[in-house]
Amino acid sequence: MTSLIAAYLTFGIVISGYLVFLSLRKRGLEKSNRTVTIVILTIPIGASNNLVGR
């Protein structure tokens, strides 16, 4: 009985672990994409500020 429970628990832990891993990777990618967007938006804003400053 112990082996039976251990086997099913192992399956559950591996699958849940993979789901957490997927969520973390997705969150990481969304954050990095957001950073890229911010950088892309900041460049023209910074450039226009410089122009206005002149």
Partner 1 sequence: MISPESIGNSKSTVRRNRALGAATLLSMVIALWAAFIYAPTEATMGDLQRIFYIHVPAAIVGFIAAIVVAFASVMFLIKRDLKWDRLAVSNAELCVLFVSTAMLMGSIWAKPAWGVWWVWDARGTLEFALWLIFVAYLLLRHYVSNPTKRASVSAVFGILGAIDVPINYMSIEWYRTQHPSHVIGSGSDSKLDPDMRIALAICFVFVILLYTYLLTRRIELEKLKSE
Under the rule (CB under 8 A), what is the footprint of partner 1? 1, 3-4, 6-8, 10-11, 14-15, 18-19, 22, 25-26, 29-30, 33
Residue 29 identity (one-letter amino acid) = L
For partner 1, give the closer residue by CB, 37 or 49. Answer: 37
For partner 1, give the closer residue by CB, 29 or 47. Answer: 29
For partner 1, give the closer residue by CB, 25 or 35. Answer: 25
Distance CA 11, CA 23 (A): 19
